[in-house]
Amino acid sequence: MNHANYESPVTVALRIGVAPEHPCSYLPGRTAREEVSIDPQIDAALYRHMMDHGFRRSSDYFYRPICEGCRECVPIRVPVERFRPSRSQRRVWRRNADLTCAIGEPQVTDEKQRILESYLRAQHGAREVDSPAEFIANLYRSPIETIEMVYRIGRRIVGAGLVDICPGALSSVYFYFDPAFTRRSPGVYSALREIEACRRGGLPYWYLGFYVRDCRTMNYKAQYRPYELLGPDGAWRAGDDATAPDSGAR
């Protein structure tokens, strides 16, 4: 999919704008630009089609990269019925057998806000988190049906994941966790639980957003195998299983 030139019935029907160029969040020294849409008519069915044309949701706007001369952000998804957990992923599943998972409507709480702030500092090296209240408010705002999967040990929250429900698919939006539980690999466990939720719901695909080969925080997604990548022609194709080692990290 040549983002600069590719047009489809989906994009024609939407009100699309182009965001200003800005430093790339994934690859140092590069700039990025996105097509964006903030359209109240976008629902879960339309969003599923948009994901199949390279879009991703953040809060109440939808975007896809259109970076000049770069196509490193590649949409990735997992065909649920063919997914087989690796040895390390099975170990993570067993390690977290004592966790409970409550699935329901997303809810902002003071406890979650504290966990998110700690997570951002620990995972992204931020000394200070600008307006965590605003960040979590944006994170929890969604124009389509979204569920929250909250993981606990006893009454204490280990982590929480937001997941969009689309026809035939779940789309992982964001997961954060208490850094005190890092040794449990809660991100891996949440991914496995989301895949299992797809399987139980009869949903054939789990969408992970963008895979970026040379970005450590984005290339872990190729550890969930087999996976499919969206090609330049707009078709999904089997990915290279050797793209990422099985480190068990997320």
Does the structure show a pLDDT above 70 at 244?
no
Euclidean distance between CA atoms 175 and 163, whole angstroms: 9
* Token pair for 8: 């489809």
Is residue 174 a contact partner of residue 181, using CB atoms and an 8 Å limit? Answer: no
User: What is the pLDDT, as a whole number, of residue 124?
Assistant: 72
Q: Which domain holds residue 165?
A: 78-204
Q: Classify residue 215: in a domain, yes or no.
A: no
Does the structure show a pLDDT above 90 at 62?
yes
pLDDT band at 89 (very low <50, low <70, confident <90, very high): very high
CATH number of the domain that 154 lies in? 3.40.630.30
Euclidean distance between CA atoms 157 and 101, whole angstroms: 10
Does the structure show a pLDDT above 60 at 148?
yes
User: What is the pLDDT, as a whole number, of residue 92?
Assistant: 98
Q: Classify residue 10: in a domain, yes or no.
A: no
Q: Classify residue 101: in a domain, yes or no.
A: yes
* Token pair for 241: 């299983």
Euclidean distance between CA atoms 64 and 69, whole angstroms: 15
User: What is the pLDDT, as a whole number, of residue 170?
Assistant: 98
**Given the structure tokens 């399987």, which residue do they identify?**
199
pLDDT band at 127 (very low <50, low <70, confident <90, very high): low
Neighbours of 227 (CB within 10 A): 24
Mean pLDDT of the chain: 89
Does the structure show a pLDDT above 70 at 245?
no
Going by the DSSP 8-state scheme, the letter that residue 27 receives in this structure is S
Q: Classify residue 130: in a domain, yes or no.
A: yes
Give the highest mean pLDDT range of 11-20, 136-145, 176-185.
176-185
pLDDT band at 16 (very low <50, low <70, confident <90, very high): confident
Sign, Cα dihedral of 25, 12, 230, 145: positive
Q: Classify residue 248: in a domain, yes or no.
A: no
Q: Classify residue 149: in a domain, yes or no.
A: yes
Q: Which of 217, 227, 236 is nearest to 48 (CA)?
A: 236
User: What is the pLDDT, as a whole number, of residue 7?
Assistant: 46
Sign, Cα dihedral of 110, 116, 121, 126: negative
User: What is the pLDDT, as a whole number, of residue 192?
Assistant: 98
User: What is the count of structural domains for the chain?
Assistant: 1
**Given the structure tokens 């949409």, which residue do they identify?**
75
**Given the structure tokens 């990915």, which residue do they identify?**
239
Check: pTM over 0.75? Answer yes or no: yes
Does the structure show a pLDDT above 80 at 135?
no
